[in-house]
């Protein structure tokens, strides 16, 4: 069982210096702006920082001080830290909410510490890297009645809203089968001997991971990030591969449209065929079974990655849809990506009349979260919803890694298989344990 992190013990071991947060924070509060701390300010973190920049940015945190120079220049009055534990201890009284944009392996701890302090949280996808951690964050958010949002920004897009309206209006007929695919593949790389090339504190970057850091050299690709930035996701030690990276974005659409929750059965297959000693598969298929409800039949959903269509052999494709969701209704098919949808067969599409627009346009994924905090409202990707989505996505990796079909008991949070249940959680380094309550 994970041990709770003692803030008192941590404070005693850390610097005794007291940070004085600028008085502009209090002035901003009078102007009805939220005081926000941002953990991780580069790459996706930079986009999330921009998304909340209309509020009052009190503190910034990133292990890479040099890479964070642009953010620090943009918000010169925000206190800067390299350790989010110290940041939360120092500015807790001044902060209303926290944005978490760290690598996946630090999501759970950063978010849990913030919520333990009663702070509203926006966290990048996947919500956590392990199934058990999603359940911890869901409970914390519920128990403390916090406003939360997972960073599946495409959920705010207009196209997803139109597809949800079509599906929920029953225009495709009953839907028992869904296919979700993405042609993205990992970047190959190899572990190498030698000192870390990173110019920042590797110990802080490792955070809760109780493993030895390794240096890696990546193959050439369009993703030109210095190790370990971005490419950490292609080793199980730090990431969950393409499924964890993109599953929450694409499986979000059928989750929303069909009102999915916990699968009862999960099985997975795949292979690693690319060059490198990475451990995640580049071609993968995951089959999920979601139980029937009063409003729909049982749903069989299949995820594929590393291929251009819903076929692990790559033979079945749909023109211009290399990453998409396909709903198979009894009356028609609907294929959708982030920005558009297509109806099949053509005869059905020619006579199609879209339903009324019942889902209003989004005010923006980040702004939705900020406004919900101010009004004591809710969000569309709160941790209750997003936690269930993330849990389902990550169960696919568990099934793949133990190479056995899973029967998932969402009530107990177990599969009944020892080797699978071991993969549902993680171990933590001393001083980086995950708090499980408030």
* 3-class state of residue 179 by DSSP: strand
Q: What is the 3-state secondary structure (H, E, C) of 299-348?
A: EEEEEEECCCCCCCCCCCCCCCCCEEEEEEECCCEEEECCCCEEEECHHH
Q: How far is CA 12 from CA 22, 86, 116, 306, 438, in A?
A: 24, 11, 19, 49, 20
Contact between residue 111 and residue 138 where contact means Cβ atoms under 8 Å apart: no
pLDDT at 174: 98
Extract the residue ranges of the chain whose pLDDT is less than 50.
1-31, 438
pLDDT at 106: 97
pLDDT at 437: 61
pLDDT at 436: 75
Q: 266 has which bridge partners? A: 288, 406
Q: What angle do CA 205, 215, 241 make, to 5 degrees?
A: 70
Structure tokens at 16: 């005794």
Rounded-to-integer distance, Cα 60 and Cα 37, Å:
6
Q: How far is CA 47 from CA 100, 124, 255, in A?
A: 12, 11, 25
Q: What is the 3-state secondary structure (H, E, C) of 230-267?
A: CHHHHCCCCCCHHHHHHHHHHCHHHHHHHCCCCCCEEE
Rounded-to-integer distance, Cα 45 and Cα 100, Å:
8
Instruction: Find the largest Cα–Cα distance for the chain.
Output: 72
Structure tokens at 3: 């041990």
**For residue 200, what is the enclosing H or E element?**
none
Rounded-to-integer distance, Cα 435 and Cα 144, Å:
14
pLDDT at 184: 96
pLDDT at 82: 98
Give 101-163 as a DSSP string.
-S-GGGHHHHHHHHHHTT-EEEEESSS-SSHHHHHHHHHHHHHTT--EEEE-GGGGSHHHHHH
Rounded-to-integer distance, Cα 105 and Cα 240, Å:
10
Give 125-166 pLDDT, tens digit per residue.
999 999 999 999 999 999 999 999 999 999 999 999 999 999
**For residue 410, what is the enclosing H or E element?**
none
Give 286-315 pLDDT, tens digit per residue.
999 999 999 999 999 999 999 999 999 989
Structure tokens at 349: 């599409």
Strands 97-100 and 35-39, sheet pairing: parallel
Sign of the Cα pseudo-torsion (137, 114, 13, 437, in order): negative
């Amino acid at each position: 069982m994970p041990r709770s992190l003692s803030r008192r013990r941590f404070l005693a071991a850390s610097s005794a210096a007291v940070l004085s947060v600028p008085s502009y924070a209090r002035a901003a509060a009078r102007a009805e702006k939220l005081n926000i701390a941002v953990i991780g300010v580069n790459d996706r973190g930079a986009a999330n920082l921009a998304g909340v920049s209309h509020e009052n940015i009190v503190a910034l945190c990133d292990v890479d001080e040099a890479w964070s120079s642009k953010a620090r220049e943009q918000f010169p009055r925000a206190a800067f830290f390299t350790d989010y534990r110290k940041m939360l201890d120092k500015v807790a009284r001044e902060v209303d909410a926290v944005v978490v944009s760290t690598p996946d392996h630090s999501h759970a701890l950063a978010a849990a510490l913030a919520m333990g302090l009663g702070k509203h949280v926006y966290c990048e996808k996947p919500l956590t890297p392990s199934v058990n951690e999603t359940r911890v964050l869901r409970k914390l958010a519920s128990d403390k009645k916090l406003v939360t949002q997972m960073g599946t920004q495409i959920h705010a897009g207009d196209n997803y809203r139109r597809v949800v309206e079509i599906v929920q209006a029953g225009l495709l007929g009953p839907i028992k089968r869904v296919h979700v695919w993405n042609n993205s593949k990992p970047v190959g790389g190899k572990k190498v001997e030698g000192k870390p090339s990173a110019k920042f504190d590797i110990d802080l970057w490792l955070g809760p991971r109780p493993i030895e850091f390794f240096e890696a050299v990546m193959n050439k690709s369009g993703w030109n990030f210095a190790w370990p930035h971005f490419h950490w996701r292609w080793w199980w030690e730090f990431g969950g591969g393409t499924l964890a990276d993109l599953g929450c974005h694409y499986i979000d659409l059928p989750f929303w449209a069909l009102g999915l929750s916990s699968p009862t059965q999960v099985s997975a297959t795949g292979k690693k065929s690319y060059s490198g000693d990475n451990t995640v598969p580049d071609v993968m298929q995951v089959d999920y079974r979601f139980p029937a409800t009063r409003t729909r039949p049982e749903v069989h959903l299949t995820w594929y990655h590393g291929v251009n269509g819903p076929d692990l052999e790559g033979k079945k494709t749909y023109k211009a849809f290399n990453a998409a969701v396909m709903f198979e209704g009894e009356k028609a098919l609907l294929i959708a990506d982030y920005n558009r949808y297509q109806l099949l067969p053509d005869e059905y599409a020619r006579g199609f009349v879209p339903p009324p627009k019942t889902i209003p346009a989004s005010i923006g994924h980040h702004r939705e979260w900020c406004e919900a905090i101010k009004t004591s409202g809710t969000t569309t990707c709160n941790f209750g919803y997003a936690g269930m989505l993330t849990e389902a996505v990550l169960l696919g990796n568990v099934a793949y890694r133990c190479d056995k079909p899973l029967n998932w008991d969402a009530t107990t949070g177990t599969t009944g298989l020892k080797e699978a249940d071991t993969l549902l959680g993680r171990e933590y380094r001393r001083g980086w344990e995950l708090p499980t309550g408030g």
